[in-house]
Structure 1
């Protein structure tokens, strides 16, 4: 009798632990905190939060509504991507496995963080090299790779890494595609990513993003940037299968040619007034 009671108590305690973890995590998602750690995760990887299909559906709806209201809520965009991207992540993982360089990435699990980047070396590289242009992108747009959220809702350790790699490669795609971080640039990158990855979150961003563009930028998107982004997303080599950390010294143009990515039809930049200009 006491053994049955003890087992029942242990099951209850595990359930309580999981519920507390989920509640704390959802609260921190809304507060924008990225420092969540808890000993109650189920062991797939640090920070993982196990959820049922129904819970994933509820999270997808809630995060989708929040992201629609404010596309710059990167925490909600992250949750949406994790709860809707299972099939796309499997396809991306398989493409990486079938690529020699991509398979090495899956084995070695490199991370793109400030702690893994040699910024001094990258700054000493010549103009036009991939590493120097990526560093210039970070400086010009005031962004850092450390802002990318850690994966929590993907229920497979390897697929979780694929999602993390996608997030950390996002800024590299901005560099490869020559797109700034304003709304027009983000929509162009999302169109490329939607065609390249099949992630529903990318498709949603590509569809909803144009609603926030004015008429002149919509014209640029529909007549040149949009078709270019979709075409290159379909024809390019899998962008997750490139060990970018070993390509900093390669010229940006050579890397584009290797990936089968055409140069952008428009050169966009931020104006000194904080708006967008075309060269």
Structure 2
């Protein structure tokens, strides 16, 4: 298995190099699914052009330019989960802190160097994953994780999500999760994809400024409702 500490993607890497590094990352992630370095590097290998497009979109607004300039962070070292959990129940901060505690996981962290705005957007996408579970209401079970990938695909066009959805769907069609039949599974993924497309692009939102805001308020603001999909 490759050593994740030695993996890197050269500047202006060719398609062959990107696929080679992505394959090495997948080998690591098969044994260590939560590896932050390979998780982010995999996204950069497959989604560099997507991130470049997202950077261009952010540069068109004042808030987007501020985010790219100041590079706010939701990494473990930047979050005081104890303080967030003391916020009133129902707020974003309280919900995020409880999410980590209840699922017995830690916030995203990485040691990858941020050489440019594209690298930052790759990092930002990864570190907003758990927060999106709180805002969208998608669960952390297999089906909920696939729903969130479908949401991210619809919202941002993330190619890594296509790969994850393909493997996840093949697995589910072969061995359906308890209580979720094949047709319901596909219906839920399609609904999540459409919801993502209809929702505000979340990478242009500075969540760090809204810890004391109710989750319900932010969800209504950022995430399309079922009524909006009809």
- For the criterion TM > 0.5, the same-fold answer is yes
Work out which of the residue numbers 92, 95, 99 in structure 2 matches 1:130. 92
Which residue does the alignment assign to 1:222?
186
Which residue does the alignment assign to 2:106?
144
Which residue does the alignment assign to 2:160?
201
Q: How far off is 1:170 after superposition? A: 0.9
SS in 2 for 1:89: helix
Which residue does the alignment assign to 2:48?
86
Q: How far off is 1:104 after superposition? A: 1.6
TM-score by length of 1: 0.69
Alpha-carbon distance in structure 1 between the residues aligned to 2:159 and 2:112:
16
Which residue does the alignment assign to 1:248?
211
Work out which of the residue numbers 33, 53, 75 in structure 2 matches 1:72. 33
Alpha-carbon distance in structure 2 between the residues aligned to 1:115 and 1:151:
14
- Going from structure 1 to structure 2, the CA distance change for 1:90 and 1:230 (only over 3 Å counts) comes to same
Q: How far off is 1:130 after superposition? A: 1.1
Which residue does the alignment assign to 1:269?
none
Task: Kindly name which structure, 1 or 2, has the bigger radius of gyration based on alpha carbons.
Answer: 1
Kept after mapping to 2: 8 A contact 1:71/1:77:
no
Alpha-carbon distance in structure 2 between the residues aligned to 1:252 and 1:111:
19
Which residue does the alignment assign to 2:151?
192
Which residue does the alignment assign to 1:174?
133
Number of matched residues? 218
Alpha-carbon distance in structure 1 between the residues aligned to 2:144 and 2:209:
26
Q: How far off is 1:103 after superposition? A: 2.2
Kept after mapping to 2: 8 A contact 1:82/1:151:
no
Q: Which moved more, 1:101-110 or 1:162-171?
A: 101-110
Moved over 4 A (4+): 64-67, 73-77
Which residue does the alignment assign to 2:60?
98
Work out which of the residue numbers 107, 124, 130 in structure 2 matches 1:165. 124
Work out which of the residue numbers 63, 77, 80 in structure 2 matches 1:118. 80
Kept after mapping to 1: 8 A contact 2:40/2:122:
no
TM-score by length of 2: 0.82
Alpha-carbon distance in structure 1 between the residues aligned to 2:138 and 2:151:
11
SS in 2 for 1:186: helix
